Chain A
Amino acid sequence: MFKIPVSGILLGASKVSTKMFVPSIGLHVSAPMKLKEIHANKVGGKLIIEGAFVPSPRKDHLIQNNNECCPLCSLGLDVKHTDVLILSQFVRSDGCMMPRRVTGLCKTQQKRMSKLVSMAHKAGLMCDLAPANSKKDPSKRKLWKKYNTYYDESTIKVYESHFKTIKDNIILDYMKSKNPEN
């Protein structure tokens, strides 16, 4: 009971102390908002591992999203499980789905996309995006998995109530922006 506030005070103190040394002007010696890439180099029998800053490979072809909704909702796309060029943007190089804090989608779309990604994997449409030790050819899979399968997107559950709350929130925000006095 007694220890929790003490640690809180300590944390606060450390925050204050770091703030004193950070200049208040937006001056940065190194670029803070960049992607990182881990490089492992061998120089004269020594292994040097360093994190290097790289520009985003998607910068040139990114669709700008000016809405408050998530990027997929604002585009209004009807994504199928065969649209591998879209679905491959949400997965890592080993084929696993990226979490919501990385993709930046809303809960409904994140759930829908992860289902579609698993459908595309099961249908063998994204076999290049797989762990290194996996058999990449879908016809070499076991039992029934080696045969061609397609999926029906209408089997993915959509929660109506969730859509309704989003809709209501958008209407409320719009009303607030119209007459800010109320």
Chain B
Amino acid sequence: MDYFLTDTQTEIQNLARRIAQEKVKPVRAELDEKEEFPWEIMNILAKADLFGLYIPEEYGGFGGGAFENCLAVEELSRVCIGVSVSFAASGLGAYPILLFGSDEQKKKYLSQIASGRRLAAFGLTEAGAGSDAGGTRTTAVLDGNEYVINGTKQWITNGGEAEIYTVIAMTNPARGSRGASAFIVEKGTPGFSFGKKEKKMGIRSSATRELIFDNCRVPRENLLGKEGMGFLVAMKTLDKSRPGIGSQAVGLAQGAIDECVEYARERRQFDQPIISFQAIQHMLADMCTQTEAARALVYAVAKFIDSDPKDVSKASAMAKLFASDVAMKVTVDAVQIMGGYGYMREYPVEKMMRDAKILQIYEGTNQIQRNVIGAAIIKEAAGKKK
């Protein structure tokens, strides 16, 4: 479908598509098999200026918004979301700085992130704090002109590979959710190390690791916003970035459709191509309809976010929720259409189905997205009565 993209948006889409097709597709199976971080591809994306799509020009970016970023993420995801998450997670790490950073912090860090010279990552989750970020145990204590951070973050995408981390830690545990703060921590800071690299079901080329803080001292000026704003930073960051997960989902679903349509035209059983069976056509029809609906929603939400409204939580959660559920279903059906071949590692849909599951889990599980949407519905309804 034509979404009436501007010339610039079409250029972004074409460039990301070309990189995905020419540079990512040929190596995706190997990256998955070897669980190897896609550095070479990150460098290509950096040279192509794609890391700075949503970063203002004054900080070395391209000056686009969430929508431009979504277009690039979708194209990369069409061939491999292990690669696209490594790209997108740098954005997740950058948003706290973009949204809450001082001019100095922005100048210093955003330009590095925009150029792709350094990757970023976002550290919120801990062993005891998943859906419930209130369970955060990592602490940061001011000592002179430095904060001393202690604790362990878990399952941080780009962990070990990224050089700029935005991390949530408790500065005042007694104040509960108002006692958290956000910090910028650079790789190489004494007392900051990485735990083991996780072995995962899917997105195996991406790096998922622990961030270990052992009396890690960061300068006071690395505090993002003010003390006590940590969870606000986290929530606003996720509001901005969730449509990106939606785009991963749309791209992945489209990639699976691309593969199985081609296969269904070639594969012959009962003396005819299996695509001539209505049962197959109907599955494909549903897959395509759902994917297009997801795309339309994600695009609409991303553009809505770029109009800078006050509250985007509900719309942003919807984009992530709907698209990721679609991606899961579509990839399961893609394997079904390809039968036993679909189940084999030789064909890409096997990986796509494994990869899809993460989209329903990270950046807030889909149950949590429904909670967010539900809370917004209640709030809106209550507001109307007055």
Are A and B co-members of a single complex?
no
Binding site for A on B (CB under 8 A): none
Binding site for B on A (CB under 8 A): none
